[in-house]
Structure 1
Amino acid sequence: MSKHAIKGKTVLIAGGAKNLGGLIARDLAAQGARAIAIHYNSAASKAEADATVAAIQAAGAEAVAFQADLTTAGAVEKLFADTISAIGKPDIAINTVGKVLKKPFVEISEAEYDEMTAVNSKSAFFFIKEAGKHLNDNGKVCTLVTSLLGAYTPFYAAYAGTKAPVEHFTRSASKEFGARGISVTAIGPGPMDTPFFYPAEGADAVAYHKTAAALSQFSKTGLTDIEDIVPFIRFLVSDGWWITGQTILINGGYTTK
């Protein structure tokens, strides 16, 4: 079996209870992962986390779930420690955590900026750090960012601006971890058809986003469907290991870089 196969591997997914993270967890279980730890942020997601754990187990893999707010280094350290204690050192670490804010630049408060930085940048930094410390050799790290990193647009300064540092975290970590065979990548989906997307957008904006990609007419919703993102993540954390240090925008032609 290839050392880059998913079969038999141990996986940690931050934000793995629902939406894209939950689908990734189910997919990697179906691909033969040995054990998967999923993280969820708050008690409001516990039922979805439990359902994802049950689906992973039904596919034949071990599964555990941990609740945590990952906006402190200590919380991320604990997540990795708990994962290792429960299912062993990860081979694959995927971080889908993020928060959207769509607001005029001059109306963004310091508290909002601090929260966006903590969720989108700080948590990603320490997740990659802990992955570098604890992943097995030949491991894979993948972080979810946003296709807005390739956009020229107003109102997303706090969202895209606090995801942007992850692009450099990815480059730097890939150089440092490469000696152990660890690849580090980031994926920037277009606006996805999930509950994460709609609260930040008005009806006019939703209508625009549903037609903005070159391939919008071929999507079920006009938006990026999470089912179309999962195969790329699966590839990057397995046979696609030779891609490292890259931020890849996957969006049907919504933005380019």
Structure 2
Amino acid sequence: MTGNLSGRVAVVTGSSRGIGRAVAVRLAERGAAVVVSYLKNDGPAGEVVEQIEAGGGKAIAVRADLSVPANVTHLFDRAEHEFGSIDIVVANAADAIVKPLVDCTEGDFDHLFAANVKSVFFTLKEAALRMRDGGRIVVTSTGGTKMFFTETSLYLGSKGAIEQFVRVLSRELGPRGITVNALSPGFTDTDLLPARDREVAADMSPFGRIGTPGDIADVAAFLASPDARWITGQNIGAGGGVF
């Protein structure tokens, strides 16, 4: 599949670290020009761009708070200005709050649904308005929506919402040949997975380990490729057999 994204333009949100970073790098390795969208981490975002350029690829970094619709518009404006029409959008940016439901405040609710739901909704809206026919949209959800965990009501509730966006939008964009899918990682080696849970998480997989960002990036790159033309409206699990 190396090089099968040549000539395509990708926007990857939340791509200064973790899974988003791995996805941005993988898409670039396969030929796409990549817009690295981030919220706070100027240094790491710049490192992603440097890594892509060192490998012969094209990339820019754009800082944007995607819970503000005007910033989403700005992000897509920059992408089109630098590289032209957009073919691939990976909506990966997210935050997490872990606490019992009874301890969650209105501020917690507003913050997480702005970060995980509002931001994705307006990213999808902009993608639908701008991307070329035959494009690919991938939304990062979580395998947690298929499991039972305590202290994750706000996080899993927000991810459940975006899974429904995927199902509906896949129908709306199907006539244009645009696929829309959710990608649900399992336990993955990022800062969102506490050290105390890693051994138990590894034991839950038949492979005896937790996932790497590269494991998830390979699945995302497939969903972003021409080979995934017959997959849409799906929630693709990438959890190493955990769920």
TM range (shorter): over 0.9
Query: What are the residue-to-residue correspondences of 1:45-60 with 2, within 5 Å?
Result: 45-60=41-56
Shift of 1:120: 1.0
How far, CA to CA, are the matches of 1:61 and 1:30 in structure 2? 7
Cα offset, 1:31, TM superposition: 1.0
Task: Report the counterpart of residue 23 of structure 1 in structure 2.
Answer: 22
Query: Mapping of 1:51-200 within 5 angstroms?
Result: 51-198=47-194
Q: Kindly, what percent of the aligned residue pairs are identical?
A: 31
- 1:148-179 per-residue CA deviation (whole Å, 9 max, x = no partner) reads 01012221101011110111100111111111
Aligned equivalents of 2:58 and 2:240: distance in 1? Answer: 34
Q: Aligned equivalents of 1:18 and 1:190: distance in 2?
A: 17
CA drift of 1:114 comes to 0.8
Any idea what SS the aligned residue of 1:15 has? coil
Alpha-carbon distance in 1 for matches of 2:229, 2:116: 24
Alpha-carbon distance in structure 1 between the residues aligned to 2:205 and 2:111: 30
What amino acid sits opposite 1:240 in the alignment? A
Q: Does 1:227 align with 2:226?
A: no
Q: Given that residues 23 and 214 in structure 2 are in contact (C-alpha distance below 8 angstroms), is that contact kept between their aligned partners in structure 1?
A: no
Deviation, 1:237, is 0.6
Q: Give the superposition deviation at 1:62.
A: 2.1
Q: Counterpart of 2:39 in structure 1: which amino acid?
A: N
Q: CA deviation at 1:228?
A: 1.2
The offset of 1:140, in angstroms, is: 0.4
Residue 166 of structure 1: SS of its match in structure 2? helix
Shift of 1:125: 0.9
Question: For 1:135 and 1:228, how far apart are their aligned partners in 2?
Answer: 26
Unaligned runs of 5+ in 1: none
The one of 36, 40, 44 equivalent to 1:38 is 36
Post-superposition CA distance 1:118-137 (Å, at most 9, x none): 11111111111111000111
Query: How far apart, CA to CA, are the structure 2 residues paired with 1:211 and 1:225?
Result: 15
Residues of 2 paired with 1:196 and 1:139: CA distance?
30
| SS of residue matched to 2:111 | helix
What is the root-mean-square deviation of aligned Cα atoms in Å? 1.5
Aligned residue for 1:242, secondary structure, equals: coil
One-letter amino acid matched to 1:213: S
TM-score calculated relative to the size of structure 2: 0.94
- 1: CA distance, partners of 2:192 / 2:42: 17
Match of 1:246 among 206, 223, 234: 234
**Shift of residue 30 of structure 1?**
1.3
Aligned counterpart for 1:213 among listed residues 205, 208, 226: 205
The residue identity in structure 2 corresponding to 1:40 is Y
Displacement, 1:9? 0.8
Q: What's the offset of the Cα at 1:82? A: 1.6
Unaligned runs of 5+ in 2: none
Offset of residue 28 of structure 1: 1.4
Report the CA distance between 1:142 and its aligned residue. 0.3
